Amino acid sequence: MRKGIVFFRQSMTRRGHRQQLNELMTIAAEHRVQIVAKLVDTSVHQYSIGDHKEISKQLLNMVSYHRPEKLFIQEISQLGASMLDVSTIVEELTYLRVSIYINNLKLETLLNGQRNPDAFVLFTLLSEIKQFQWAEIRNQLSRKLKKDKKRTSDSSPE
């Protein structure tokens, strides 16, 4: 039987962590993968970049120790604080021949030991969308600050 790891980080969704964790375990069984380790964080809080890097380090140590063929995760964002972090860990795991099964996308990074082009195209698109969203947020904030500054200077007594 093939070996796998479940990596789960509680998100802000309404679904309970036990339900999501059980879902990942069921999927692993359907894939005929024996779960040899779990990395579970159920504390719901904002993660700093350092937190993400520490958890990624723990995950890579588990992978190094257990040598799984698959990693089961709920969503791709659980792998890092930024798309660069996510891309880095995906590349590292791909290099180590560990396929990542992303449950909310129903997608794997490796198929029959080869890179799944669909997954990598999707990651690229998600990265670009996120960059666009951040640029749009920065533009909106900049416009609002300029507008507020103008309003403040127009209303100040002379």
Q: Is there a contact between 17 and 10 (Cβ–Cβ < 8 Å)?
A: yes
Provide the residue count of the chain: 158
> What per-residue string of b and e applies to 78-93 under the rule 16 or more CB within 10 Å gives b?
bbbbebebbbebbeeb
- The answer to whether position 134 is within a domain reads no
pTM: 0.76
- The answer to whether position 131 is within a domain reads no
- The answer to whether position 106 is within a domain reads yes
pLDDT value, residue 44: 52
pLDDT value, residue 143: 87
- The answer to whether position 103 is within a domain reads yes
pLDDT at 12 over 60: no
Local structure of residue 115 (DSSP, 8 states): E
- The answer to whether position 145 is within a domain reads no
- The answer to whether position 11 is within a domain reads yes
Looking at the structure of the chain, the number of domains it has is 1
In the three-class reduction of DSSP (H, G, I as helix; E, B as strand; rest coil), residue 147 is classed as helix
Exposure of 109 in the CB half-sphere (CA atoms within 13 A): 26
By percentage, how much of the chain surpasses pLDDT 70?
Answer: 85
- The answer to whether position 8 is within a domain reads yes
User: Which sign, positive or negative, has the C-alpha torsion 52, 58, 63, 68?
Assistant: negative
Q: Which domain holds residue 48?
A: 2-116
d(CA 127, CA 46): 20
List pLDDT tens digits, range 106-133: 999 999 989 999 988 887 787 677 777 7
Give the count of beta carbons closer than 10 Å to the beta carbon of residue 14.
6
List pLDDT tens digits, range 23-71: 999 999 999 999 999 998 766 555 555 666 788 889 999 999 999 999 9
pLDDT value, residue 97: 95
Helices (H) and strands (E) in the chain, counts: 4, 7
By percentage, how much of the chain surpasses pLDDT 90?
Answer: 38
| Residue that is written with structure tokens 């998600």 in the block | 126
- The answer to whether position 84 is within a domain reads yes
CATH number at residue 111: 3.40.50.1390
